[in-house]
Structure formats: structure tokens, C-alpha cells
Chain A
Amino acid sequence: MSNAISIRLETVFKSTLGIDAVPAGLSQKNCEAWDSVNHLNLILALEAEFDVAFEPEEIAAMQDLDTVKKQLAAKL
């Protein structure tokens, strides 16, 4: 994943989840703000930012930063 895309991705995470930094290993388990409502917001924000659409199965699987990156990279 290119640097520019990583930065855009981090920006989406920061503004959607209201967090200051996006550490490696970020996941629904270790981030309180990443709840089910923000998960929906995150998916909508990612789809708008990158002009992609995720499959329902992908949306369900995207529970940590690594998986989100992988799913996104596969679509770009």
C-alpha cells in the first residue's frame, strides 16, 4: 500500500473514530471508539474516500487495521 494511500486511510480512521493516532495492530478489540456504529461510519467513510464498495462478508471481517488495509488494497 502506497504512502499516500496509507495517509488517507489514517485520516479516515482518525476523523471517524475521533482518535489522534492510528497505531499498528489497531482493532475493534483494543479501541473503544471502534464500536458497531462507528464500524458502519468507518465503512461508509472508506467507501466514499476511495470510491470502492465492500461485500457484506468483507465488512464483517474488517475488524482490525490489517484486514482493512488488505481488503482495501485488493480493491485499488
Chain B
Amino acid sequence: MKLFVFRNATLEPFFPREETEFSGYGDISRVPENEEKICWFYTLPPDVSPKDGQPLVDDFLQKLRLVLPRVPADKRLELTRLAFPQNPPLVLADTRLRDAIHFYNAELEKIARERENALLREAPDFATDWRMWFLAQMPFSPAKKRAEKVPPRVPAVRKKCIVLDCDDTLWGGTLGEDGFSALKIGGDFPGNAFAFFQKKCVELAESGIILAICSKNNDADVCEVFEKHPAMILRREHISAWRVNWNDKAENIRQIAAELNIGLDSLVFVDNEARERERVAVAFGGIVATPEFPRHAYELPAFFEKLVDEFFRCEKLTAEDLSKTQQYRDAAARSEAARNFSSLEDYIASLEIRLLVAPADDFSLPRLAQLTQKTNQFNLTTRRRTETELRDFLACGNAVFSLSVADKIGDLGIVGESEISFSADKKIARIENFMLSCRALGRGIETAFAQRILCVLRERGVETVFAEYLPTAKNAPCKDFLPSFGFVCEDVAGTRFRLDLRTCGELEISPAYKFLSHE
């Protein structure tokens, strides 16, 4: 017995393969003549928004009505009901999705009554495996039974604002390193999982939750993504407060709360970096919520559901809720100028950062070469090296240093590289390369690394150090780096610098860092 299935998603695992033929996704151009049985099996995408429910079921029904006249009256026709969503909605009084599903199922019942050979099929009793949805557009998995319905959770006090990081939180990848066009948003997995998360953030905004951005990046770069990236769902108009800079995130969050005139206890901070969450949790004694971010992009739906359960679900919306987002955005625009300075020192001390500056060895050379290839933001000269080039450089009597970083949360491994060449009499040193991975930026580590290297050079009897800053599209963060140590600019272009180690005085290293000996 042959079966033909009209469908709009991946359903193959639910039917015996030899006996079943499938339409294309959402394709009704062909109505088969030879199959004995026809099945109408459309499904709502598991990430459907409440407002999209009715337009979608209208589209499904329109398609079905185009198919029906082409199916012979005596042919067996099975119509599959739509399943109700497993999770309660963000706003409990929002029945749009349930109403749309009721409407669709009632229409199917009408058709079944009118046609002699039509009958209704229950919606499948399976739950969504998001991994399979993102990978293969499979809306539910044969291996996952729907769970028992649980009563919806509504937080006693609804949070007012969600503060969002960008890299690896709103999109996959690191903007400063990978670049605009390499970001993973939309399209295949994992981009579609990040698109899901953005879409849900828009739903939050539409329910009166204020969205804020807090990201360590170049402001202009992130603006460009929000304004020009074709796959972005979140846009500038959704965002009420904006802090894209290299400052301490706790200070940024304090400013965001002040700017929006809401309490710190109304904020939820979402960041994939455990260090940033820890920093914010510690800075405010746990008053700002810092939920743990999932390790895998396909866990974003479960993560979002948890955010809703714990912080954002409400019974119903007031008119005030709905206009709130705009009010806050206006207020924020007025007071953005009123920022003040951060207490980065306290933060750094609390992290118990440990640094190890060591001469390159066989173990570190491959990683150091890789760093020179990949590091873009904090990179004075952006000279790319292979492992062989670094070995040759060392063989000429020069020095290559690695920087490893660990703190109380974990070990970052090797995150910094610097190459120093020497004059024949070893009195003059030249910094050929100096870089720090973006993973370690924003904690003053680059300064400590440079100070340590300068100390080592002075101990070795070096009198003068030359260095360069070669600007690229991405390395603006290190523009003012060399002058901060007393390097003097030697050319009009602002690229060549000189430091006299005999006269520059003490090279102070902040006591917040603990240096480990490499001997």
C-alpha cells in the first residue's frame, strides 16, 4: 500500500520508507495519482512566535484547499491535526497560538465531515529534539515522547531588562577575529540556533522587556552588524541601551541600570563567558541575575525556556508594558553622555589572575604560530608567522615569548605572543610582534605582559627598545598602547616608537597580577 505525504518539514523517520513518498517541503505542485492513500501532515515550526501562528495556519489551509479538488473523492485522505505547543507562552493571556491551532484543527474536522473518505489523524505524541530541528528540520523526534504537562511557572517579580553579550551569545563566532561575513547567524546550524535566540529576544521586547547590549568589541563593528548584516533579526530599534566598548562589564551594567532608571535587581545578564558572568555576579553580590549559558548552540531553546520560567513570564500585559520599551529607549538616549569611570582594579584583583611569561619552546611554538595567524584585535604589527619562521627567528639569537593566563575560574592557556630581535651588541631590542588573544582582553593583561617583557629586556642589559604600531581594519584597540609605557613616537604617521630603558624609570607591575616564574 503506497502512501503519499504532503508535508512542510522532515518526517521521513515516522513512515516506512519503501511504502511512502513525500512532497517537497511545502510543495503542493504535484498531486499523485497512483498512491492509494494521501496524508496531509503539516506542522508548525517548534520556534513559532505567537503572532505568526495564524498567518501560518492560514497558509497551510490555503494550500490544503488547493490540493483537495485534485484528490479523487474515493481516495483515502488522512488529515493530521496540529499539536499544541509543549511550553506555556511567555504571556499566559496570549492565546494567539492556541487559537490558531484550534482554528486549524476545527477546519480539518469540517473537511473530514464533508468528504466520505477523509479521516483525522491525531498529532504525533513526540517532543522536539532541537538538535534535530536545527540540523535536519525535523520538528519532533521519534525518540522523544512528549512530557507530562506541567503547570506554567510565573516568577513572583518579573525582571525588566535583559542585558545581552554579542560574540557567541547572539551570533556564533568572534566579530573582531572572524569578521562580519564569517559570523554564524541564520542559515545552517549553528547559525539557525543563534537566529532562534534573537527571534526569542524580539518576542521578549514585544512583551515589554527592555533589551540592552553589553559587548567587548569595537562599537562601529557591532553597529555595522546590527545595521547591515542580512541575517540579523535583532536590530538597533529593539535595543534600548547600548554599551559596546572595552570597559569592565560590571561598570557598563551599572551605567545601563542608571540610564534606564531601573534597579540592578531588575536585570538579567546573558553572556557565554563564565568570567564575565562571575565578574558581574560578584560585583553586585548576586543582585544581577547571571544565568549559566549553554555550551552548545542547540541548547539555546532550553536555555530560553528557563529564562522565561525564572524571570520573564507574566500573566498578562498592560498597555504600559507595551509602550515601555520605547520609553526606556528615549530615556537612555538622553542620558547616555552621563557615564562614569569603572573600578576595574577591584575586578581584576578578585579574579586572582596568574600570568606566566616564558621563552618559546617546542610545546608552545605551534600554538604561538597559530596565535600570530588568528589574532587581529590586540596585535601591534599583525605579522603572520609559521612555526618554521619562528624557529628560524630564534635560531638567529632572537627571543620569542609566550604568555599563559589562568585565573580562579579556569585556565586560558597560551594567549599572548611577542617576538623580540636584538642588535649585534644586544643593546638595542626591537619588538617585531606583540599580541594578545581577544579571549584575554579587557583585564589589563596586555599591559602586564608588556611590562614584564620590558623588565626582562632591561635585566638583559638592553638600553633602547624600538616598536611599531601598524594600523589595520581591526587593531584599533591597541592604538594608544605604546605611548602608555612612555614610548615616544618617531614619525609623522604615528607608527614607529622608541623607549629608552635607561631613563624611563620604574616599570611598575600592578600587584593584582601574580607572575609565576618560568625557571
Interfacial residues, chain A to chain B (CB-CB below 8 A): 18, 37-38, 40-41, 44, 47-48, 53, 55-56, 59
Contact = CB atoms under 8 A, between A and B. Distances in A.
A37 B137 CA distance: 12
A56 B12 contact: no
B138 A56 contact: no
B296 A40 contact: no
A48 B296 contact: no
Interface stretch (B128-136, B339-347, B509-517): B128-136
B266 interface: no
A40 B190 contact: no
Contacts of B296: 55-56
B13 A56 contact: no
B131 A56 contact: yes
Nearest to A36: B136
A47 B298 contact: no
Contacts of A40: 10, 12-13, 132, 136, 138
A44 B134 contact: no
B141 interface: yes
Contacts of A53: 131
Nearest to B10: A40
B142 interface: yes
A40 B162 CA distance: 37
A48 B298 contact: no
B143 interface: yes
Nearest to B18: A18
Interface string B296-307: 101000000000
Interface residues on B, range: 10 to 19
B13 A41 contact: yes
Secondary structure at the A interface, as helix, strand, loop or mixed, is: helix
B135 A56 contact: yes
A56 B134 contact: yes
Contacts of A37: 12, 17
A38 B13 CA distance: 9
30 contacts: A18-B17, A37-B12, A37-B17, A38-B17, A40-B10, A40-B12, A40-B13, A40-B132, A40-B136, A40-B138, A41-B12, A41-B13, A41-B17, A44-B13, A44-B132, A44-B141, A44-B142, A44-B143, A47-B143, A48-B143, A53-B131, A55-B296, A56-B131, A56-B134, A56-B135, A56-B189, A56-B190, A56-B296, A56-B298, A59-B135
Contacts of B134: 56
Most central of A18, A44, A53, A59 by chain B CB within 10 Å:
A44
Given A40-B10, A44-B141, 12 more contacts: A37-B17, A38-B17, A40-B13, A40-B132, A40-B136, A40-B138, A41-B13, A41-B17, A47-B143, A55-B296, A56-B135, A56-B189
Contacts of A18: 17
A35 to B, nearest CB: 10
* In the A-B complex, the 6 residue pairs with the closest CB atoms: A37-B12, A40-B136, A56-B135, A56-B189, A48-B143, A41-B13
A44 B296 CA distance: 19
A18 B17 CA distance: 10
Contacts of A48: 143
Interface string B1-43: 0000000001011000100000000000000000000000000
Contacts of A47: 143
A40 B137 CA distance: 11
B294 to A, nearest CB: 13
Contacts of B141: 44
Nearest to B12: A37
Interface string B118-161: 00000000000001101110100111000000000000000000
Contacts of B132: 40, 44
B19 to A, nearest CB: 13
Contacts of B143: 44, 47-48
B172 to A, nearest CB: 12
A39 B298 CA distance: 19
A14 to B, nearest CB: 14
